[in-house]
Chain A
Amino acid sequence: KAGVTQTPRYLIKTRGQQVTLSCSPISGHRSVSWYQQTPGQGLQFLFEYFSETQRNKGNFPGRFSGRQFSNSRSEMNVSTLELGDSALYLCASSPPPGQGRVHGYTFGSGTRLTVV
């Protein structure tokens, strides 16, 4: 089955602009999480969505937002881009827990955002 698909793979934006990244989870997965990865800060949790509801949120400013659609696809938006927003943005999906089992997450290849 298809993996987690993130689009676009690469993006260059100018300071002050806004950007929208997309993540299509594995079919049947209803949980989608977003992470920001930078060399200095490692993997930072942004937010998690489950059945169109934000279930968890990391410590990021309000410029970072997300949403999930009824087909479980998710988007994250960053407004008023700053140079420090340059990073690899990773999306991960997970099936709903079943029969007490917990599953590992499946990650997409990421979107590399460069802010100039």
Chain B
Amino acid sequence: SQQGEEDPQALSIQEGENATMNCSYKTSINNLQWYRQNSGRGLVHLILIRSNEREKHSGRLRVTLDTSKKSSSLLITASRAADTASYFCARGEGMRFGAGTRLTVKP
């Protein structure tokens, strides 16, 4: 399979805490993307990191990529209740997704 695989499957934290979720993949990639999905809705693109990048920031989001370990992580700092959603990673070509991480941020 060439899917991205996220872990943990579910994560529950308090508002204000940081949330970290991970993504592993099996084959070489040109880029990796993270998406968010609110319950029952379409996915929203969060951030794209290229294979020659090691870290990328967007607001409260920080993504790292370790191509030697074929893994990426998404860090959400100072989480808010509105961050409650499922988060998915997708390998660039073909855009294959894993099962996602279900994040719950409690107020």
The chain A residues found within 8 Å of chain B, CB to CB, are 4, 33, 35, 42-43, 45, 48, 56, 88, 90, 92, 102-110, 112
Contact = CB atoms under 8 A, between A and B. Distances in A.
Contacts of B61: none
B63 to A, nearest CB: 12
A77 B62 CA distance: 39
Most chain A Cβ neighbours within 10 Å, of B88, B90, B95: B95
A88 B43 CA distance: 12
Contacts of A33: 95
Interface string B35-60: 10000111111001010000000000
A3 B90 CA distance: 20
Interface of B: 30-31, 33, 35, 40-45, 48, 50, 88, 90, 92, 94-100
Contacts of A112: 40
Given A42-B100, A102-B30, A104-B33, A56 B94 contact: yes
B41 A45 contact: no
A20 B35 CA distance: 27
Contact of B97 (A42, A56, A104): A42
A21 B87 CA distance: 25
B50 to A, nearest CB: 8
A56 B93 CA distance: 10
B43 A107 contact: yes
Contacts of B98: 42-43
A92 B44 contact: no
